[in-house]
Chains A and B, each alone.
Chain A
Amino acid sequence: MTFFIDSFIMTTTMVFFFAFGWIFFMRYLFKDYEVHQYSVQIIFAITFSLSCTMFELIIFEILGVLQSSSRYFHWKLDLYIMLFLLICALPAYTFYFVANTLPRMPDSKRVRTSFSVVAWLVYMYFFRKLGDPFPILSARHGVLTIEQGISRIGIIGVTIMAVLSGFGAVNYPYTSMFCFMKPVTDSDISSMEKRLMQTLDIILSKKKRIALALSRNSDASIKSSNKLWGVLQGIKSSFTSYSRENIAQFESEIKANEELSRQLFLEVLDLNSRKERIQYSRTYKGKYFNCLGYFFSVYCMYKICMCTINILLNRVGQTDPVTRSIDICIRYLGFTFDVKFWSQHISFALVGIIVITSIRGLLITLTKFFYAISSSKSSNVIVLVLAQIMGMYFVSCVLLLRMNMPPDYRIIVTEVLGDLEFRFYHQWFDKIFLVSSLSSIAFLYVAHIQKPDN
C-alpha cells in the first residue's frame, strides 16, 4: 500500500518537473522559433524531468522520506529509462533530424530512417570503444548491464562538467572584477561608429558606379541596333564606360571593404558591451558581484592547487566535507552536538545547494549556447544535442555527488549504479578541470592583451 502512495508522490513530482522543462523550452529556448515538431519538446522535457527526479531521490535518501524499497525501485526505473534515452532514443532522433538538414538528401521518410539507423550503429560502435582505454570496470560484468552504459556516460559527462567548471571558474572572476575592465569613453564609440559608416559609404559609392556602368552598358546594347546612333553613342560612351575588368576590380575592392565593415561593427559591439559592463559595475549589484569575484578567484586558485596535488600524489579524498567539518568542529573547536542529526541536515543543505546551482548553471549555459549558434533550420538538432548533454551532465553529477555525502547516504548510489570505479571519475575530473582552467587562463590572457588600448 505504501508503495502505491510513494509511487503516486513520485509521479506527481515527475509531472511537475516535466511541466517545468516544457515551459523552459517554450519561453527561453524556442523564444523566437515556432515549434513544428512537438516530439522534440516532449523528449527535452522528459529528459529534464528524469534528471530532476534523480536528484530528488538523493535528497529523499538523505531526509529519509518514503520507504527504502520504493526509493530503490524508482531509482532503478529512472536509471533504465534515462539510459535508454541517452543511448538509443536521443542519438537516433538527432541523426533523423540531421538527415533532414543535409543538402543532398532525397525527401522520402524511408531514406531518412535508414540513414539514422546506420548512423546510430556507427555511434554505438564508438560508444562501446570509448570504455577501452579507461580502467572503469572490473572484468566481471556482462555486455548489456547497467554498469556498461553508466560508466561510459559518466566519462563523457564528467569531461563536460570539468570543462565547464574550469572555464566558468576562470571566466567569472574575469568578467565581474573591476581591475580587468578597461575604461571606455563615448568618444571612442562614436569615432568607431563614424569609421564604420564611412566604410559603408565607400561601399555604396562603388556599388553605385557599378550599377551605373551596368545600366549604361545595357542601354548601349539596346540602342546599338540603329547603326548611326550606335556609332555616336559608342564614341560618347568610350570616354566614360567601365570595362569588365574595372567592374571586377571594383567588386574585389568591395569585398575587402565589406570585411572591414564587419570588423569595425564587431569593434563597436565590443566597445558597447564593455561600456554596459562598466555601467553595471557601478550599481550595487555589480559591486556585490565584484566582491564575489574576489572570493571565487581565491577558490579557483585553491581548487587548481588541490587538483595538481591530487594528480601528483595520486590520491582521492576519502572523507566528504560534511563529516570532515563535523570532525574538525568536535575535535579542535570543542563543540559537542548530535552528530547524526547535524550530519543529516548539513548534507541536505550542501547537496541541495549543489543540485540547484548545477541545474541553474547548466540551463543558463545551454540557453546562451543555443542563442549563439541556432538558426531556424538547425534548431531541432541543436536542442536534441543539448538534451543529450544535459542528461549526461546530470548523471555524472549524481556520480560525483556521492563524494560529498556521508557514508550512510552513499549506499543507495553505490547499490544502484553498481560496482563502478568511483575513484577514477574523481581523478579524471581533476585532470580535465586542471587542463580546462589553465587553458582558459591562457586564452583570456591572450585575448586581454590583444584588445587595443584606448
Chain B
Amino acid sequence: MDVYAVDLDRVRVLVVGDSGVGKSSLVHLCCHGTVLANPSWTIGAAVDVRIHEYMEGTPQQKAYFVEFFDVGGKQAHSNSRSVFYHTVHGIVLVHDLTNRKSNSNLSKWMEEVTLTGSRLCTGVITGTGDGLQSRVPVLVVGTKLDQLDANRRTAVLNGDSEIAEEFGAEELLLDCTAAASLAPGSGNAVKLSRFYDRVLHHRYHRHSPVARNNPTAVPGPRRNSPTRRKVVKHSLWEINS
C-alpha cells in the first residue's frame, strides 16, 4: 500500500440518469461519506474522486483513484454532453424509485452513452444493432428509497430489476440523505466496492496472470439471461485494447 505516492493510477466512472434523481447526492455520499447539504441542478458535469483499495486484504492490494463524472441530466443539454463520454471505464445508471419513468428512461441513457462511445471508439460497446451489450461494467442505483410507501418498498426490495438484468448489472437501493446507507460493511457498501473492483479489473487486470490462472479470484459480471444472446463484434474493441 503506497498512499504517499503523488499519483496513483485512475479509472473513470460515468454517473448518468434523469434530472433530479439524486446523482450529485449519490456521488457525494460515495466519495465523502457525508450527505450533500444543498443539492442544486448540475450544469455540465461535476467531478469528484475517491481512493479505492483494489483487492483489499490480498497480496495484490493496490490503491487507485476512482473518478466520478456526474453528468447533468437536463434534456436541453443533450447535444453538448457527448464530450464527457470520451473515456469511460464504468457506468452508474441512477433512477428515482418514486418515479417509474426515470427507470424506463435508463435504456435511453445507456443508448446515448454507448452510441456516442462507439462513435468515438473507446471500446465501450461491442454489441451489434439493437443489442446494447456493454462490455464496460454497469451498476444500477435506485434512490429515494425512504420516500416510498410501505407496499411499494417491499415490492421493490424483493423484486428484480429488468434494466439490471438486461445489462448484467447489480442493483443498489438506497436513500442518499442517510449517511448510514453506505456505512462500511453494509450490504450496499459491499456491492459498491465489488463494482469498483470490477471496473479496475476490467481496465487494468483483464490480461494479468492472476486472472488467467485463477478466474474465480476476480469478480466477474453476472450472466445475461439466455434469451438475450447477441452476436458480439470484437473488431471495434480489439483496436483499442
What string of 1s and 0s marks CB contacts (under 8 Å) between B39-72 and chain A? 0010111111111000000000000010100000
Q: Is the CB of B4 within 8 A of A211?
A: no
The residue that A211 contacts in the complex, of B18, B41, B51, with Cβ under 8 A, is B51
Identify A207's interface contact among B8, B20, B43, B48, CB under 8 A. B48
Q: Smallest distance from the beta carbon of A359 to chain B beta carbons, Å? A: 24
Number of contacts between A and B (CB, 8 Å)?
Answer: 82
Interface residue? A141 (CB, 8 A): no
Flag if B48 contacts A375 (CB, 8 Å): no
Chain B interface: which of A5-13, A74-82, A126-134, A265-273?
A265-273
- The reply to whether the CB of A187 lies closer than 8 angstroms to some CB of chain B is no
State whether A32 touches B102 (Cβ < 8 A): yes
Number of interface residues of A (CB under 8 A): 36
Assess A196 versus B99: contact at CB under 8 Å? Given A215-B3, A376-B20: no
Stretch from B75-83, B118-126, B181-189, B190-198 contacting the other chain? B75-83
The docked-state distance in angstroms from the alpha carbon of A236 to that of B41 is 43
- Decide yes or no whether B105 CB sits under 8 A from chain A: yes
B144-177 CB mask vs A (1 if < 8 Å, else 0) is: 0000000000000000000000000000000000
Q: Which residue of A lies closest to B105 (CB)?
A: A32
Contact with B along A11-53 (1 / 0, CB 8 A): 0000000000000000000011110100000000000000000
Bound form: Cα–Cα A300–B83 in Å = 40
| Distance from A103 Cβ to chain B, minimum over Cβ atoms (Å) | 12
Q: Given known contacts A32-B105, A211-B51, A376-B98, is B45 in contact with A265 (CB within 8 Å)?
A: yes
The interface residues of chain B lying within 8 Å CB-to-CB of A211 are 31, 49-51, 65
Give bound CA distance, A277 to B239, whole Å: 36
Contact A196 B44 (CB under 8 A): yes
Q: Which residues of A contact B83 (CB under 8 A)?
A: 193, 196-197, 268
Contact B101 A34 (CB under 8 A): yes
Docked CA distance A245–B160 (Å): 48
Q: How far is the CB of B24 from chain A (nearest CB, A)?
A: 12
The complex places the Cα of A237 from the Cα of B170 at a distance, in Å, of 40
* Residues of the B chain whose Cβ atoms lie less than 8 Å from the Cβ of A268: 80, 83
B207 adjacent to chain A (CB < 8 Å): no
**Chain A's nearest CB lies how many Å from the CB of B163?**
16
- Listed from nearest, the 9 A-B pairs whose CB atoms lie closest are A265-B44, A193-B83, A269-B80, A262-B43, A272-B79, A207-B49, A375-B20, A34-B99, A268-B80
Q: Would you list 23 pairs from A and B whose C-beta atoms are within 8 A, ordered by A residue?
A: A32-B101, A32-B102, A34-B100, A36-B98, A196-B83, A197-B83, A200-B47, A203-B47, A204-B67, A207-B48, A208-B8, A212-B51, A236-B4, A240-B4, A261-B44, A262-B44, A265-B43, A265-B80, A266-B43, A268-B83, A273-B79, A276-B79, A375-B41
